[in-house]
Chain A
Amino acid sequence: MKEIRIHGRGGQGAVLAARMLASAFVQEGKSVASFPMYGFERRGAPVVAFTRIDDKPIREKTQIYNPDCIIVIDPGLLSLPTLFTGLKPESVFILNSPKKLPEKPNDNLKIGGVVDATGIAVEVIGRDIPNTCLLGAFAAATSWLKLESILKVLPDYLSGDILQRNLKSAERGYKEVEVTKW
């Protein structure tokens, strides 16, 4: 089983990104389970969302404590003291930031990917919704699934012009992510 934890803020699309990721893995024949954890639905409040993928049915219904990958949508959350707690060895870190990746922020990290998803989203979508761009970056950095699988499921969640823009955003995330191997 692979466990992915997404950190964002209400309104940035963390919950939807976790679901889209689950749908994309279903395209590749995997079992999936994805859920967020928050109280009130509030813009700007920290949100954490979880996605599990496996070859066999997933029974666990707990939050994720030992992720194989964390995706940080809001770079402001980098200061969370518990952000990297419990990472599995050789795990992956995907960050939305216009800056370079920080120096290997945790001993258990193997791969880091950074992309200016906010910049790309503002340019392509016209709004600060960086989630689909980061999914593209995730596919490129992890190689756990194909970009095509992500592109194929976006129409389940979006339509019309906004779909086209998000497809482009995901493709740019895939191409423009800077990957570091530690």
Chain B
Amino acid sequence: MVSAQKGQVRVITGNATGAYGAMLCRPDVIAAYPITPQSEIAEQLAQFKADGVIDSEFVEVEGENSAMNVVLAASVAGGRVFTATSSYGLVFMYDALQETSGFRAPVVMVNANRETPGIHAVSSGQQDMISARDAGWVQIITENDQEILDQIIMAYMLAEDNDILLPVMVNYDGFYLSYLAEAVEIYQIEDVDKFLAPLKKQSPRQKLVPGVSQGCGTHGMEMGYVEARYKHTQAMERVKNKVDEIDKKFGDYFGRYYGGQIEEYRTDDADIIIIASGSATGTARTVIDAKREQGIKVGLIKLRLFRPFPAERLIQALKGKKAIGVIDRSICFGWKYGPICMELKVLTQELGSVPILSYIDGLANLDITIPHIGRVVDEVNEAAKGKPYQDVTWIPMEE
């Protein structure tokens, strides 16, 4: 492969970008149920089907649980599949989510992050993906519209790799990215075909064929169950390097690199590090630049891969740093820290006794603002100097 041709640049929303990303990968079967703030994807894909832009089988379902079961079945039958959801929809397919990962079905799903049931909130927040953290899916978080498109293409490359065979959830902040109109380069479909072509050269994965009797699925007794779980976790471990490899290949071909599991921004000579994910990382970059001009040696780590957790890359990037601040757009019932911060705390042995400050912000459509991130940088900087610090800060509660 050399490099891709120039694509068509259009000003479209994150949701429309999701639909274009799916279209470019030519799924055999699509099933999706509309839900705020994802509805536009389901609508756009239906429009593509009506206009003959895609020849996918488009299954109109009566809810998200059916959507996931439809794409699971189609995937197990050997097809490439796509679905999209958010919040209540993700929760409504919770059993099917686990079935899908148990089947090791390479389903690709877009999730427009939104707060979950309990407190009815039609608003942004990553609580939905966090609630599905242990469902056995690969979970990746994106920062802007172009990355949504690019990550969907990379997600198929990852999910359908014979070394992986796991479902992949591509997340983006609902409202903030789902409705964000930006200029997006939509690649030539022939180029996406070429990029994904290596998948066809693999030996075909095991599939269910009508009339052929064979065992398949998530029924495992005792050792059968243990072995399936063991292999699943091993595959999860392999995801990490594979994400980095695919990112490199994607960048070499399409010209955009995202850093794989994590992206490091101005971290090389940094004393302190801010960790963020999703749309807030864009804002954080501007704050990092401004604070650098004030003489604070701060860097940013954008967490792209949340499941599996990129422990090794983080240890490497955080070694020797004097303090770390983690911004979470969700909460963790049972721990006072935010979920990403909680995961990072597991690495304490490798990182040493470095202060790790947890920040909760951006729940329920509240903004993760420039002053908020500025405050995080200042407080982490003080902690690095040995000053006492607050373990966990709910930023909106202190305003």
User: Contact at B122–A40, with CB atoms within 8 Å?
Assistant: yes
Taking a contact as CB atoms under 8 Å apart, the answer to whether B11 and A23 are in contact is: yes
A33 touches B122 (CB 8 A): no
Given known pairs A15-B179, A33-B181, A61-B279, the reply for A40 and B36 (CB within 8 Å) is yes
- Residue A142 is within 8 A (CB to CB) of chain B in the complex: no
| B370 touches A (CB below 8 Å) | yes
Of chain B, the residue at the smallest CB distance from A16 is: B181
Q: Which of A32, A36, A65, A156 contacts B183 (CB 8 A)?
A: A32
B369 in contact (CB, < 8 A): yes
Q: Which residues of A contact B180 (CB under 8 A)?
A: 33-35, 61
Which of A35, A40, A59 contacts B181 (CB under 8 A)?
A35
- Asked if B280 is at the interface of the complex by the 8 Å CB criterion, the answer is yes
- Contacts known (A23-B11, A62-B370, A65-B369); A35 close to B176, Cβ less than 8 A: yes
A97 interface residue per 8 A CB criterion = no
Q: Residue A22 contacts which of B173, B181, B282 (CB distance < 8 angstroms)?
A: B181
Q: Are B181 and A63 in contact (CB under 8 A)?
A: no
A35 to B182, CA, bound (A): 9
Nearest A-chain residue to B9, judged by Cβ:
A26
Tally A residues with Cβ within 8 Å of B: 24
Q: Is B283 an interface residue (CB 8 A)?
A: yes
- Answer whether A31 and B183 are a contact pair too, CB < 8 Å, given A22-B11, A39-B365: yes
Identify which of residues 78-104 in chain A touch chain B, using a CB-to-CB cut-off of 8 Å.
Answer: none
Q: Which of B13, B175, B370 contacts A60 (CB 8 A)?
A: B370
Verify A37–B175 contact, CB threshold 8 A. yes
Set of chain A residues within 8 Å of B282, measured between Cβ atoms? 59-61
Task: Knowing A15-B179, A35-B180, say if A63 contacts B367 (CB, 8 Å).
Answer: yes
Query: A1-57: which have CB < 8 Å to B?
Result: 15, 18-19, 22-23, 26, 31-37, 39-41
**Chain B 7-45 against A: per-residue CB contact (8 Å), 1 yes, 0 no?**
001110100000000000000000000001000000000
Q: Which residues of B contact A18 (CB under 8 A)?
A: 181
Tell me which residues across on chain B come within 8 A of A61, comparing CB atoms.
Answer: 144, 173, 176-177, 180, 279-280, 282-283
A34 touches B36 (CB 8 A): no
Cβ < 8 Å to A, chain B residues 354-399: 365, 367-370
A19 to chain B, nearest CB (A): 5
CB nearest neighbor in A for B282: A59
**Which 9 A-B pairs have CB atoms at the shortest separation, nearest pair first?**
A61-B279, A59-B282, A39-B122, A35-B180, A34-B181, A23-B11, A19-B181, A61-B282, A35-B179
Taking CB atoms, residues of chain B closer than 8 Å to A63 are 367, 369
Of all chain A residues, the one with the shortest Cβ separation from B368 is A62
Q: Is the CB of A37 within 8 A of B365?
A: yes
Residue interface bits A129-170, CB-to-B below 8 A is 1, else 0: 000000000000000000000000000100000000000000
Check: B65 CB closer than 8 A to any chain A CB.
Answer: no
Closest to B177 in A: A61
Complex alpha-carbon distance, A37 and B338, angstroms? 25
Q: Which of B36, B177, B181 neighbours the largest number of chain A CB atoms within 10 Å of its CB?
A: B181
Query: Which residues does chain A contribute within 8 Å of B286, judged by CB atoms?
Result: 59-60
Quote the shortest CB–CB distance from B221 to chain A (angstroms): 47
Q: Smallest distance from the beta carbon of B265 to chain A beta carbons, Å? A: 10
Partner of B367, one of A19, A23, A62: A62
Q: How far is the CB of B240 from chain A (nearest CB, A)?
A: 27
B 169-193 binary contact with A (CB < 8 Å = 1; else 0): 0000101110111110000000000
> Shortest distance in angstroms between B369's beta carbon and chain A's nearest beta carbon?
5
Complex: how many Å from CA A31 to CA B144? 14
For B280, the closest partner residue in chain A by CB is A61
CA distance A23 to B183 in the complex (A): 8
When chains A and B are docked, how far (Å) is the Cα of A63 from the Cα of B279?
Answer: 12
